[in-house]
Amino acid sequence: MIIHHSERFKSYQLFIKKPLKYSEKFTFVPIRLKKDKVYHKCIFQTPLLFTPYGINSTQNNKSIIDITFQNIENDNSQKVFHANLKYIYDTVYEKYKYDYIVNEFLKRTDFNDCLRLKISDNTILFDEFKNTIEDINNYSYGNFIIELEGLWLNEDNIWFQWNLLQAKIRLPTHLKEYSFIDEIHEIREETIKEDKYDKMIKMGVPKEAVDRQRVLDGKIPHGKIPHGKIPHGKIPHGKIPAPPPPPPNLNDPNKKSYIVPKIKASDLQNVILKKSKPIQKPKIKRDPNHFEPPTIEELQSTLSRLKKINIE
C-alpha cells in the first residue's frame, strides 16, 4: 500500500516491531503503520520535490540521492508532507528520547530541509511519459516513492533508514527529429479570382451573368464559351470566337435563295433631297462699356485667319 502525501499520517498508528540484531554494534528495528487492524509498510508518494545534486555515491560506493523542500513556500502540498514527516520523527523521538540520541532525518541545507534516500539495484527511474531513464541530473524536480524501512540502533544513537523505490523526473524537452512546421505558401492570385465566381453564384447571381463576368475577365476555358454569350466587342484574350450562324436558306438546296435587288442609276434620279432649314442664331447684344469675352465661333474664325510664320 502506498500512502499519498495528501493523507494525514496521524490517522495511522506507528508500530515498532521486534528488533533484529545484526552485530554487537548494530540492531535494526522494522517499522509499520497500522490502520483498521491492518499493518502496512511505510511507503509514501511525495509531492513534487527538488534534488540539487541528483544521484551521488558515498565513500562506501553506495548510491544516494537528496530530495529537498526547496519550493515549500510556493507549494502547499510540500508543507503538508513536511508536517507528516515531522509527525513520524516526533513519535519515534518520544519513545526513545531517554535511552538514545534520535538523529533527525530532515537536515537543514541551503536548499531548505533535505531528506537523504538510499538507492538500490531495484530502484526504477521514469520520466513523465513512463519511459525508464538511467540517471537523475542535478537541479531536477520529480515525484518519489519512498520507504521508511526502519531504525538502526548504534550504541546510543538512532538513525532512520529511508529508501528510494521509484522516481518520476521532469526532464527538459528534447526533439529527436525534424519538427518544424514549414511555411504555408500564399494562395495564387488566380485561385483567389476563381473563388469570387463561386461566391457570386452562392449569393444568387444568375449563372449567365457570372459567365459573362468570366468572359470579361478572360477566365473562360478554351472551347467552353457559351454560344451567343460573349458581349459585343469583348473577345477573351487569345481565344478565337465561334463563327456566326449562316444566313437563312443558305444551306438548304430545296429552298430558293433570297436575292437582294441591285440599285439602278435611274432609281437615284427620282430621289429628291430635302433641304434643311437654315439655323438662325440670335445676335448677342453687347454693352460698349462692358468687356465681353469672345464666343467659341469667334475664336475659331480668328484662329483660321492666322498665317504661319517660319522662325529661323
What are the extents of the domains in the chain?
3-169, 186-241
Tens digits of residue pLDDT in 56-71:
999 999 999 999 999 9
User: Which pLDDT belongs to residue 205?
Assistant: 82
Burial group, residue 167, by CB count within 10 angstroms (0-12, 13-18, 19+): buried
- For the 3-169 domain, the top CATH level (class) is mainly beta
Q: Which of 142, 81, 140, 71 is nearest to 106 (CA)?
A: 81
Global confidence as pTM: 0.59
User: Which pLDDT belongs to residue 208?
Assistant: 85
Cell of 270: 427620282
CB-CB contact of 31 with 73 (8 Å): no
User: Which pLDDT belongs to residue 110?
Assistant: 95
For the chain, the average pLDDT equals: 82
Low-confidence ranges of the chain (pLDDT < 50): 222, 232
User: Which pLDDT belongs to residue 183?
Assistant: 82
CA atoms within 13 A on the CB side of 110: 2
